[in-house]
Structure 1
């Protein structure tokens, strides 16, 4: 089994952390595209495009071409959802990791070192109501399957228990199936869903909200 070390974020990790997060999120674009294609409303829209284009041009070929263009647009939109999320994170909390996650009380940002590189990351911040939020979990593709995400999840849960929090909460997207399995395996349960934007609604792209009750919280 490969060895790794969990440690607190340091200033020299800045670029590695930002690149790791951006790559991890953009990897979900193909899954988001496939998920959108399975939505009934999207399939009906593609059928309507085909029928309208064929009727207007009187050609099956042009009808199929219109559908192909619509699929390209759908792919661009799926990438846009991921890119917008990355842009927002890199311009806010991941622009100032110490100010967001190290200096405020009960906040932390951990990275995992494996084979001399930053291979994974996770953060934790108070969410109110005696809850701690797990955020920015990401594991490099080259280092997956080594238990890094599970170890980081346990680190956050232990941190929350040590500081008297009653629960840990988090959000993930519906296409991040591996993440959902990880969290559920660590005791999290799904407590809600939402569409974060009109574009996400049109693509049937939901965010899922999870909670892990720790018991005995005193916050």
Structure 2
């Protein structure tokens, strides 16, 4: 008599019922390689989360897409040579001006991605901790303070503090992240948790590569 597999031990899988279950996922980077084309597609897809935070984040999305475009245009100059972000950053480390304009685009894109990572991670943590507060302003501000704020001048910080008041309530935001009438908050959070694994690992590696090649700056905007 054959043994019945224990499905309860199966690894969690993405659903097809939420935004995070369907957008392009960041790849596994255990080999310490970031594929340029796939990375840029995943970055483009995750910017869509800003639409769910409201029109006040339109400029932030525009900035992210602008940096993605800058990197993509460089990649398209020689897709074989620049197939990995590793090669692009290594080449930029030899430029007379460091960080170069292209490297600055990567740096600011990374910072914006780190904000999004911190925000969705906050959503997950609060859900698991059964936080019921509907106002997400503090969640957004905590994500901002740990990522973008150190690189923003006082005026930019003031503007962000104001737009953080306009984010939707928790239940409304989570509802917009569902793509199917049968989707649930638990599904959204489960997909976020799965998405965060490679997302976080990619950002960690990107930070290490920028540091390795001396492509860093503390300048504020």
Shorter-normalised TM range: under 0.3
* Length-normalised TM-score, structure 1: 0.27
Which structure has the greater CA radius of gyration? 1
Greater relative CO (CA pairs within 8 A, separation 6+): 2
Higher helix share: 2
Higher strand share: 1
